[in-house]
Amino acid sequence: MKPYYKNYLVSQNNLLIQKISTDTDIHRNPLMSSFLLDNYQRKLIAIMISHITKDTTDFCEEIIPFSSFVEMIGVNRGGNQYREIIKSIDQLLRMSFCIEVEPGVYEYHHWFRDGCRIDTNKNLIYACFSDGMRKFLLEKTKCFTQYELGYILSLKKKYSSRLYEYLHSFLAFGSANISAENIKKLITDNEVKENKYIKALVLEPSITEINNKTDLYITYEPYYKKDLNGKKYLSSFNFKIDLQDEDSINDIKISKWGLDEGFVLGDE
């Protein structure tokens, strides 16, 4: 097993972050309630991506101790949450997704190759990205998002990791205007139904955590429009996206990651 370090880089095509379809009905996928990754799945994917370097030409099978993965994301063994993680990872190994690569054009991909498995006797996860993931992880373009693994592992709030990756993909622009509808679809997976709850349930807890635990510093303002009757309604949010200064980043790494060079799991 290769070691994983919190300062390893997670680099992926922005299509994986911005363009995964959320409408499983359109794509006739009755077995799945969503194409979006949950928090546990997103962190396992990030861990595996962190082993990909600029010299990687093919995907290798990753062997991940399940107990170490659970400990790494801050969950105690046993109890309902532990069982939820097992169920989540089991679903991920069989999971596909759909990306709108251009208007009206959809591509379907599996995250992993056939034959991935969970060994409950040895408590190990064996997984390898599918060949279709090459274009998103190996073929580098300008439209890539890159961050250190430790940042996403430190995020615990329900919507923080999705929002962190999504806003990070707009870092080069320094800002982003995101519609309330897209926040409900792409960040909450349609769990938040009404615009009036976005700030309290999604943005306030998530952005506070992102600002306290990651390399990003986010501020935002709501943007209102008027309907045909002149009634004001919440249309979107304007986000200002900055990198934290070097001193703040160092403080975050010391206080949130510890002083152990960021070691996560695995043996040399």
Q: What is the CATH number of the domain that holds 116?
A: 1.10.10.10
Average model confidence (pLDDT) across the chain: 86
Q: What is the pLDDT of residue 21?
A: 73
Q: What is the pLDDT of residue 28?
A: 46
Q: Which structural domain, as residue segments, surrounds residue 251?
A: 4-265
For residue 243, count other CB atoms closer than 10 A to its CB: 14
pLDDT level of residue 72 (50, 70, 90 thresholds)? confident
Q: How many domains does the chain have?
A: 1
- pLDDT, average across residues 215-220: 98
The burial of 127, by beta-carbon neighbours within 10 Å (0-12 exposed, 13-18 middle, 19 or more buried), is given as buried
Report the interhelical angle of 39-49 vs 160-168 (nearest 10°). Answer: 50
What is this structure's pTM?
Answer: 0.89
CA-angle at 118, arms to 115 and 120, nearest 5°: 145
pLDDT tens digits, one per residue of 1-40: 667 788 899 999 998 898 887 664 444 444 444 578 888 9
pLDDT above 90 for 175:
yes
Q: What is the pLDDT of residue 268?
A: 38
